[in-house]
Amino acid sequence: MVTLGVMNMHTPLAEKAIPFAIPENNWDASEASNMSESELLLYRSNLLGADLTVTNFGGGNTSAKVMERDPLTGEEVEVLWVKGSGGDIGSMGLDGFSTLYQEKLLALESHYSGDEDDDKMVGFLPHCTFNLNGRAASIDTPLHSLLPSKHIDHVHPDAIIALAASSGGEAATRELWGEEIGWLPWKRPGFTLGVQIRDFAKANPNAKGAMLAGHGIICWADTAKDCYDQTVRLIAEAAEYLNGKLESAPAFGGAVTGAREDRAEIAAGLMPRLRGLMIGDRRKVGHFSDDAATMEFVGSKDFHRLAELGTSCPDHFLRTKIAPLTLDADRLEDDAYLAQSISDYRAMYGAYYDRCKRDNSPAVRDANPVVVLVPGVGRMTFAKDKATARIAGEFYLNAINVMRGAEAVGDYIALDEQEAFDIEYWLLEEAKLQRMPAPKEMVGKVALVTGGAGGIGAAVARRMLQDGACVMLADRDEGSVETVHGDLAKAFGADVVRSVKCDVTDEAQVAAAVAECAREFGGIDVLVANAGIASSAPISETTTELWDKNFDVLSKGYFLTAKHAWPLMEGMADMGGTSIVFIGSKNAVAAAKNASAYASAKAAANHLARCLALEGADSGIRVNVVNPDAVIRGSRIWDGDWRQERAGAHGIDSGDELEEHYRQRSMLKRSVLPDDIAEATYWFASEASAKSTGNMINVDAGNAQAFTR
Ligand SMILES: [Zn+2]
């Protein structure tokens, strides 16, 4: 209910700006005491990268010039160790560094005659490789090779970029550091920037570093420790300076909209609708955040003016696109408004491409917004996978911090549009994109799996994750689902798995689980209704209670999950549709002796699947059923009573004999395992079965009674 009680549902407006965090100096002399020069470089890099107030994810690079023995000539040569292409200085190991002959790097300048040679110079870098190191040198290498200093750090801390992207930044730099730190105008990374920094250092022998306008800072020292100390100190001084300015006035011109108390619900309702409108080659995964800095920004007086300007640091805008899409919180229920907003954004992006493209520019890329901002609600990001969406959001948070600081000392200056375009559509960047392997089948898709803590549920989740899906595990057993969640997160990464407590017989819990999936990932592409129970009793002993319990879980539970996931799945019709898979049972088609309640409830669910297949076809929702039989291993329904009861019904022991009994009973004489059910479920979930709906597959090692007809 977006439009109701807007005023009194907001939290009070904050009066003080959020301050910049001050980085700490974490150098441990005893830890560093026995390290080699390259190990010290790694130690310093990891310390810097681990602190998000020092540099953003994947940003920044560090170097040291080290004497090494040449493996070919045996002579001592100077080698530049510099963070290579890709990776992150916070988590990298020694193999993340490129190693290059410093002498050869310096000789490259004979091939350079000016700005227009920047791209050409990149091609020479591999010729300077020392010791056959396979780590590609990054485009920032000349920033490190041309400067004579032994140790160099180049980082992008929010507090530094805030100064670098402000009209008052140059004066503030002089006020703060005098001759110690210089100021160089914006220049995109490359050989020319390296030459400019080198020439600046030569002309200013007292300087220890330089601010790079719109970008970050580079600073140098004689030892690894001095370099680290200096980098941390400069960032701390910039942050303290900005905090002093922020104390006197509220951020972004003051607050006008407080954070809505129902913002999480609004995001859950909004994200699947936006995602369905973002037509493109592949579907996207969403990420929602309502952190304090975002809420301060989107609720501020200057929000629209600043958001429109876009981001500054190239690291930021490469992840976030030139500008975010901003939405009016009072019109979120209006479908036509949302559709028009996305379409306008795509047109704006197309116009930017047309204005800035050059003769040899790569073709226009996906025009959908990455960052969506709503006052009072927060920030949503959409990208090809969950990690990319989350990281894009974090980069926008960096951009917000930059704008807050920049506006406190002057006017925020965004990156020039043509400069932004030239980086975004840089031919070398395009070559990197073209080399990327095709994404796996399920990348961009979100699966909700009920009964996710059980043997079949966990196997289904694992199978989806293997091919790149995001998975929300829902289960009424909170402890077990958390354990499975932990195991899967360890195997596939924390970004792609979530879990929620959900009893499928409780409509409110089902609705909440669906909303959680929408908020965590942006929607649902695959629903696997799997939560089940089993019971065994002759008709005379089947109580009404037992009958109802079976129908509650197996029939009503399937109905409720499908009903609540339905609106989200319908919305993906234009993106190739969605898939519902019911985990049925052999007993849904074959009569079972002494299990009438269970078998009848399963039969009801299977017929529900056929009805939904008919109803969903127009919206691209496919509905199919996998019928397992006797999947004993890892199953929770086979624990306890049901196991005893079925063993009793067959007159055998309930231990290993039971599994053997079912194996022998099957036509193929094979045991049916959770992974077998997962494989069939995966097939129905994937595009491989795109032409199939209203069907069922038996996975029972052969059972003539269950043959469909
Ligand atoms: Zn940089």
Give the model's pLDDT for residue 14.
65
Phi, psi angle pair for 163, to nearest 5° = -70, -40
pLDDT digits (tens, 9 = 90+) for 670-705: 999 999 999 999 999 999 999 999 999 999 999 999
The span from the CA of 700 to the CA of 698, in Å, is 6
**Of 118-132, 215-229, 308-322, which gets the smallest average pLDDT?**
308-322
pLDDT digits (tens, 9 = 90+) for 253-265: 999 999 999 999 9
Give the model's pLDDT for residue 317.
82
The span from the CA of 320 to the CA of 318, in Å, is 6
The span from the CA of 652 to the CA of 646, in Å, is 9
Which residues are registered as beta bridge partners of 371? 381
Give the model's pLDDT for residue 377.
97
Cα 131 to ligand 1 centre (Å): 26
Residue indicated by tokens 């000349």: 142
Give the model's pLDDT for residue 160.
96
Tokens of 199: 């020439």
* pLDDT over 50 at 6, yes or no: no
Give the model's pLDDT for residue 650.
76
The span from the CA of 349 to the CA of 364, in Å, is 9
Give the model's pLDDT for residue 77.
97
For the four alpha carbons of 320, 323, 327 and 328, in that order, the dihedral sign comes to positive
Cα 292 to ligand 1 centre (Å): 27
| Burial profile 453-488: b = 16 or more Cβ within 10 angstroms, e = fewer | bbbbbbbbbbbbbeebbbbbbbbbbeebbeebbeeb
pLDDT digits (tens, 9 = 90+) for 166-178: 999 999 999 999 9
Cα 107 to ligand 1 centre (Å): 24
Give the model's pLDDT for residue 2.
38
User: If you compute the radius of gyration of the chain from its CA atoms, what whole number of angstroms results?
Assistant: 30
The span from the CA of 658 to the CA of 636, in Å, is 15
pLDDT digits (tens, 9 = 90+) for 433-448: 778 888 999 999 999 9
The span from the CA of 708 to the CA of 696, in Å, is 8
585 Cα distance to chain centroid: 36
Q: Please report which confidence band the pLDDT of residue 18 belongs to, taking 50, 70 and 90 as the band edges.
A: very high
Q: Please report which confidence band the pLDDT of residue 1 belongs to, taking 50, 70 and 90 as the band edges.
A: very low
Q: What mean pLDDT is predicted for residues 266-294?
A: 95
Give the model's pLDDT for residue 637.
67
Cα 627 to ligand 1 centre (Å): 55
Q: Please report which confidence band the pLDDT of residue 3 belongs to, taking 50, 70 and 90 as the band edges.
A: very low
Q: Which residues contact 126 (CB under 8 A, 6 or more apart)?
A: 136, 137
Cα 412 to ligand 1 centre (Å): 19
Cα 428 to ligand 1 centre (Å): 16
Please state whether beta strands 470-475 and 285-289 pair in parallel, antiparallel, or not at all (unpaired). unpaired
pLDDT digits (tens, 9 = 90+) for 53-63: 887 777 789 99
Give the model's pLDDT for residue 640.
67
- The DSSP-derived string for 525-588 is SEEEE-------B-GGG--HHHHHHHIIIIIIHHHHHHHHHHHHHHTTGGGT-EEEEEE--GGG
Give the model's pLDDT for residue 63.
97
Cα 309 to ligand 1 centre (Å): 20
The catalytic residue positions are 598
Phi, psi angle pair for 488, to nearest 5° = -70, -35
Cα 189 to ligand 1 centre (Å): 7
The span from the CA of 35 to the CA of 28, in Å, is 12
Cα 55 to ligand 1 centre (Å): 10
User: Residue 619: exposed, middle, or buried by beta-carbon count in 10 A (0-12, 13-18, 19+)?
Assistant: middle
439 Cα distance to chain centroid: 15
| Higher per-residue confidence, 55 vs 100 | 100
- The DSSP-derived string for 521-543 is HS--SEEEE-------B-GGG--
Tokens of 469: 């899906």
Q: What mean pLDDT is predicted for residues 198-219?
A: 96
Helix (H) or strand (E) holding 77: strand 76-83
Nearest in space to 528 (alpha carbons), one of 600, 457, 609, 606: 457
| CB 260 within 8 Å of CB 325 | no
Whole-number percent of the chain with pLDDT over 90: 81
Nearest in space to 295 (alpha carbons), one of 687, 699, 637, 14: 14
Give the model's pLDDT for residue 7.
45
Q: What mean pLDDT is predicted for residues 634-657?
A: 73
Which residues are registered as beta bridge partners of 212? 184, 216
Nearest in space to 447 (alpha carbons), one of 473, 466, 463, 471: 471
Cα 139 to ligand 1 centre (Å): 10
88 Cα distance to chain centroid: 16
The span from the CA of 212 to the CA of 182, in Å, is 9
| Helices marked H in 184-278 | 191-203, 224-247, 263-277
**Of 35-49, 60-74, 315-329, 359-373, which gets the smallest average pLDDT?**
315-329
Q: What is the mean pLDDT of the chain?
A: 93
> Up-side HSE of residue 692: CA atoms within 13 Å toward CB?
17
